[in-house]
Amino acid sequence: MWEKFQEITREKVGKTAFEVWFASIQPKSLEKGKVVLEVPDKFFKDWLETHHSEVLSSTLKELGLGDAFSLEVNPNLLGEKTKKVFRKIHAKFKEEPSDSLRLNPRFCFENFVVGASNRFAFAASQAVAEAPGKVYNPFFIYGKAGLGKTHLMQAIAQRVLKKNNLKVKYIPSERFTNELINSIQNRTTEKFREKYRDIDILLIDDIHFIGGKESTQEEFFHTFNVLYDNHKQIIMSSDRSPKEIPNLEERLVSRFCWGLVVDIQPPDLETRIAILKKKTEKEPIKIEEPVLRFIAENIATNIRELEGALIRIMAYSLIENKPINLELAKEVLKDVVKEKNKKIDVDFILDKVAEYFNISKVDLKSKKRTKNIVLPKQLAMYLLRELTDYSLPEIGGFLGAKHHTTILYAYKRIDEKLKKDEKLKNTLNILKQKIYN
């Protein structure tokens, strides 16, 4: 059965793409409707889910196993030779903590590539680092994953530590929540409060995760007040603006907006090329600009994915002992890159959603609320917000919704479901692939 799966997949994606992305996949369970596949690392998992869900789903369906599947990480899948190559490459890109603050030494201002999409956030971050607690307090950075929020936060922390004798605490919000829970269980809440209130700078990454967590919000509210009243610097990052964080108390929303709120947008082409050049300037492997430009033109989502594409090309070059040129880059990335300058319009997205769910585009635009229409309509709203620049009222107009709050509700509902529902996540990835391809 597995040999047949590999044979069909190789025919669909070609020999090179198969060797790069699929050869290392191993089956953990091939039970119909409960297929579990193992991949060697998280990057493989994320890349396959984003770019190859449709290939995996359709092949499993052809074999009578259904189209639902999940991916799990098993680092023991790669051969020793390949492991060595990947260790060598990943060592230059790793984000391991270097001290008790868990700061990555690579995340400094000097290594941050500035472009139109992040220039204001960069300048504001430098200003905060130069005068913590005096300008832009609190300082709130938001943007989608992989755009440099964590880099800027850690750059501020490292600049402050280098220049001042101040107490700095950097922590992801989930760890803040876990430490709070442990302190309640162990009756050490006073010690917990002292830890986070007797400091000069508090940096909380991914603050949106406290949405809906009442005890964490209550504790953070009082911590925020103590620090702010004592003119201590508070810095936060999120994947969305304060007003868009679901289930966040209004009193916190207003406080998060007291200082400066800045966003980071996906980098433009010139910035993406500059980022790739920065990543390769210390590499022993020479990579010509046409190759970097090809990667930058076709990987436009975020910096992590850009970096990931570069790593895979370098790895394939070393494993196969082939020089890195434009031909090799096109081979490695041919099944995942988006068509250059492809414009995604509203009707195209609606066509693909309607086609996938076997309904009509008229149904998507109607006011019907039957069971077979609700989910496709919510997914269409979610995709239009994710993949286009239209405003909420404009999206509502396309889909017959009178109020923009309908679109916002659908978006939040799908966003929440995606955190728990693997099948929905697979469906969304397949729809994105159909749209991009």
φ and ψ of 101, to 5 deg: -80, -5
Q: Residue 342: pLDDT band by 50, 70, 90 thresholds? A: very low
Closest CA to 425 of 434, 412, 415: 415
Report the DSSP beta bridge partners of residue 263: 142
Secondary structure of residue 390 in the 3-state scheme = coil
Q: Residue 52: pLDDT band by 50, 70, 90 thresholds? A: confident
- Domains annotated on the chain, with CATH: 1-73 (3.30.300.180), 109-263 (3.40.50.300), 269-341 (1.10.8.60), 346-436 (1.10.1750.10)
> How do residues 246-276 score in pLDDT, each as one tens digit?
899 999 999 999 999 999 988 888 888 898 9
CA distances from 30 to 64, 65, 67, 84 (A): 10, 7, 12, 30
Q: Residue 237: pLDDT band by 50, 70, 90 thresholds? A: very high
- Averaged pLDDT, 158-183: 89
Q: Residue 437: pLDDT band by 50, 70, 90 thresholds? A: low
Q: Is the pLDDT of residue 25 over 80?
A: yes
- Using DSSP bridges, classify how beta strands 168-172 and 34-39 pair: parallel, antiparallel or unpaired: unpaired
The answer to whether the CB of 248 falls within 8 A of the CB of 211 is: yes
- Averaged pLDDT, 339-361: 79
Q: What is the pTM of this model?
A: 0.61
Q: Please say whether the dihedral angle defined by the alpha carbons of residues 23, 26, 31 and 34, taken in this order, is positive or negative.
A: negative
- Averaged pLDDT, 395-415: 85
Start-to-end Cα distance in the chain: 28
| Mean pLDDT value across the chain | 84
- Averaged pLDDT, 38-61: 82
Q: Residue 350: pLDDT band by 50, 70, 90 thresholds? A: very high
Q: Is the pLDDT of residue 284 over 90?
A: no
Q: Please say whether the dihedral angle defined by the alpha carbons of residues 206, 253, 203 and 189, taken in this order, is positive or negative.
A: negative
Burial group, residue 239, by CB count within 10 angstroms (0-12, 13-18, 19+): middle
Q: Is the pLDDT of residue 166 over 80?
A: yes
- DSSP letter for each residue of 156-188: HHHHHHHH----EEEEEHHHHHHHHHHHHHTT-
- The pLDDT of residue 302 is 77
List the structure tokens of 224.
């925020």
d(CA 108, CA 294): 27
- The pLDDT of residue 19 is 74
- The pLDDT of residue 105 is 86
- The pLDDT of residue 394 is 81
d(CA 11, CA 325): 24
CA of residue 149 relative to chain centroid, distance: 11
> Pseudo-torsion of CA 25, 27, 33, 34, nearest 10°?
-110
